[in-house]
Amino acid sequence: MHNKPPVRTRANLGQRVHTGRTQTRSNPLATVRELGTFSPNDAAFALAYARPVRSDINLGLSLRILQRNIDDKNGYAGSIDLGGQWLDLLRGLDFGIVARNLGSAVTVGST
């Protein structure tokens, strides 16, 4: 068989927030007339879980909620990552596969 340590059940909860600089909107056809300012913000909240289903097969799943804010407009989306690993498929060879970002794109405003 293989001499790798067993993979234990693992779960993870994460958060990432990005706040942009305040930006100024102006009309390029006017003489530098300021139209206003805004601050863009992005956030991602994730929950991940992985576990062995047999001694040689591991599976994992990650769920994400994405939020984007630009000026007074908000957008939300969700996505899923799926992954699997087959240990010692052939002597000395492990096989892994992943599908990432299955879900919708963030749409902000009426675009």
pLDDT tens digits along 37-71: 667 788 888 899 999 999 999 999 999 998 888 87
Query: Any idea what the Cα angle at residue 47 is, between residues 44 and 49, rounded to 5°?
Result: 150
Q: Which of 14-18, 75-79, 83-87 has the lowest mean pLDDT?
A: 14-18
Amino acid at 104: S
Query: Any idea what the Cα angle at residue 65 is, between residues 17 and 103, rounded to 5°?
Result: 130
Neighbours of 61 (CB within 10 A): 13
